Amino acid sequence: MQAVCVALVRHEENVRLHSFDSFAYSSILYQMLGIQSKDANIETWRRFFRDGDAEISPETSVNPSKVVKDGMTTKFLLRMEDGLETESVILPIEGYKKTRQTLCVSSQVGCAMGCEFCQTAQMGLLRNLSVAEIIAQWHAARHALGTPIDNIVFMGMGEPMENIDVVINAIHILTDQNGPSIAPSRICVSTVGRIEGINQLACLARTNGYKRLSLAVSINASNDEVRKQIMPLAKSVSMESLREAMLDYPRHDCGGVMAEYVLIPGVNDSDEHAVEICEFLRPIGCHLNVIPYNPRDNSPWGKPTEDSVRKFISIARSTGQFVRRRITLGQEAMAACGQLGNPALKKKRGQYKLTMSLNKKD
């Protein structure tokens, strides 16, 4: 089944609207535009908007082209109109009262950040996803796979802050009470440290209705020297400037901002590193999520031992820092943190960019 993905832009109102499954999900459109017919089709919208007032994307599938399960997690691929694919993961997360289904969505095809420990970074960046392509990931999980989604985390392929305008517009759709109706408190956007994007997300988090929107910063090191070894962005963005942006991010009773720390054997897992990262985070007062490293293809590092993970967490907690260990899920399906990415697409990157360049000339 093909779904009509429509992005309508009323420039004078700066409103972006989306609909899927031949406008089955169209309550936002009907309410805001006053069009009540459930039989509305793409030509209806073409006629409604004047030339230049609408952006209507090509058809794209919201049925997964591939689904991989490992017993708990579900990784699925969506193939887009241009032949590229994006990966998403459904993760069951144990809560206090029930297990909540968390959808990890991608914001780009590939990634330009070049983090040494990440599978997606090995692909390089092919392109940003559109709002429709981000919403399609929710739609595929909720309707094609039949999984009620409780939480959304922008922690899949890509750096969300490199596509922040699109990500924010997607958040508007995901949180709309007439649409997916995901509470802002159940949405988290991750970044390796793009300050401009953090500041832009902070502006949204200060507005009514979005004040519980969360930010996760992938710190992954206790000092600039170590961070530069594994994260190229650290050469231009210091940890001090990153801390200032985290301090400026709006807080709420559940925190608002958290630090992510991928624990890599022999790189950032010493006793000194544990103490140093806690000293760095102390002025911020945020949670520290420790993520045992999930090796990418051809990784120079292996998994940390269970003893080393427990020791690092124990030392960090002894400083008074609140520490949570991220439960590792999806390794068998290459769906764990840092493992998303299709090596085959990397081989196609040069061909894809050449094709896009030729199309622009035409």
Residues marked active site are found at 337
Pair type for strands 99-104 and 6-10: unpaired
Separation CA 192–CA 161 (nearest Å): 9
Q: Which helix (H) or strand (E) holds 350?
A: helix 343-361
C-alpha dist (Å) from residue 37 to 23, 33, 55, 286? 10, 11, 21, 48
**DSSP code for 69:** E
Separation CA 334–CA 340 (nearest Å): 7
Q: Which two tokens stand for residue 13?
A: 């109102």
**Residue 24: which of 142, 106, 162 has the closest Cα?**
142
**DSSP code for 13:** T
Q: Which helix (H) or strand (E) holds 241?
A: helix 239-248
| β-strand partners of 60 | 3
Q: Are 186 and 175 in contact (CB under 8 A)?
A: no
Separation CA 267–CA 270 (nearest Å): 8
Neighbours of 100 (CB within 10 A): 16
